[in-house]
Structure 1
């Protein structure tokens, strides 16, 4: 049961609101392939939760890349932009749930390792940019997940105490970051996290496959206080 003291919701983006984690894995494969390198099996785990900048720094160091951090990030941005804007879909039930929460006047924010430029193009396409009070990026706060910084930044902008925020995440790093900030967490099923799903379930308040699971009178009563 979710306590009635929850007064705001903070969403991760990739793997939580949108089904985009396979895209990022393919970008890793293609980016390294352009340089004659094979994507190692442990890469996804090694970079999980890192900010965009931290991930670029990791790639540069691990693969001894001559490219600057700025050039690596720009190439990833170029590789991902069209696919995210035109081919990536929402997780099951995510759009109806966002509309439902917005209709109940619950403040929402996004805390993500993606880029501001991408989200500021993506969200208006679906007319949901107005749903979010603010957008928060691990690159802009200086540290990725599992550090709590991006969640604390979102809570501050929402003017809600962290312990009064509910976070939605798909990775252990995101869950731990939100919990370190003092937030309750609901985990969202994602195919790329299957190998860790038991730990994810154990670490979160609820684990959902479809956001519609929460669009119930019980959730409304316990969360919104209706």
Structure 2
């Protein structure tokens, strides 16, 4: 899988860290605080948000639920709600630390292309002591179009100074997988409990599929 690969780019939530459950919990709690009824099919609602950048998601919430708070207030609240969970309740995916070390040993560049906020990405990396591994971080808020558009992956590849064709992407949901493929990169889908019902679609879209990162190390 790593043959002829010069850079590996990761999504964050559900890919590097087991955190998708957390965002579902935050959405439910946030809407509850506002006295807003949670969508009946919360899983389908979460899937509707896939690929949206952090600001784009705030716009969606503000319009969908007629929230009076400003976009900055909404985002600030979400960041406050997420920080403690990221630091104390969200684990790395199995084998992540060992895989990052292997990539470093092979002199493969490492990046992140995430829909999350830069502030929270930095919180996660610091909490797990892995910030030093990453050469470039890009968020969907920093590019014209969110996933499944290729923009965020192309910008990360540019920052890593690597051609898209020489990049391998790790993603956990179909929108992210399509973003990597649309960027002309190889994509490995990562198993995640949150997207279990999308597994067949993930396998169809991606070049590879893994249950954890130890699988890559053992190839």
Relative to the length of structure 1, the TM-score reads: 0.92
- Between the aligned partners of 2:203 and 2:21, the Cα distance in structure 1 is 21
- Judge conservation of contact 2:5–2:108 (CA < 8 Å) in 1: no
> How far 1:3 sits from its partner (Å)?
7.0
* Residue aligning to 1:184: 186
* Residue aligning to 2:167: 165
Q: Which of 186, 195, 211 is matched with 2:197 structurally?
A: 195
**Pair 1:209 & 2:211 matched:** yes
Is there any run of 5+ residues in structure 2 with no aligned partner, and where?
none
* Residue aligning to 1:18: 17
* Residue aligning to 1:36: 35
Aligned 1:80-91 pairs, distance under 5 A: 80-91=82-93
* Residue aligning to 2:65: 63
Once the two structures are superposed, what CA deviation does each residue of 1:41-93 show, in whole Å capped at 9, x if it has no partner? 13101111100011111111111111111111111011101110222101111
**Two-structure CA RMSD over aligned residues (Å):** 1.3
* Residue aligning to 2:49: 47
* Residue aligning to 1:110: 112
> How far 1:5 sits from its partner (Å)?
3.2
* Residue aligning to 2:140: 138
- Between the aligned partners of 2:107 and 2:2, the Cα distance in structure 1 is 17
* Residue aligning to 1:93: 95
- Between the aligned partners of 2:29 and 2:120, the Cα distance in structure 1 is 20
> How far 1:167 sits from its partner (Å)?
0.2
- Between the aligned partners of 2:145 and 2:67, the Cα distance in structure 1 is 22
Mean Cα displacement is larger for which, 17-26 or 39-48?
39-48
- Between the aligned partners of 1:131 and 1:60, the Cα distance in structure 2 is 36
Mean Cα displacement is larger for which, 126-135 or 78-87?
126-135
Is there any run of 5+ residues in structure 1 with no aligned partner, and where?
220-226
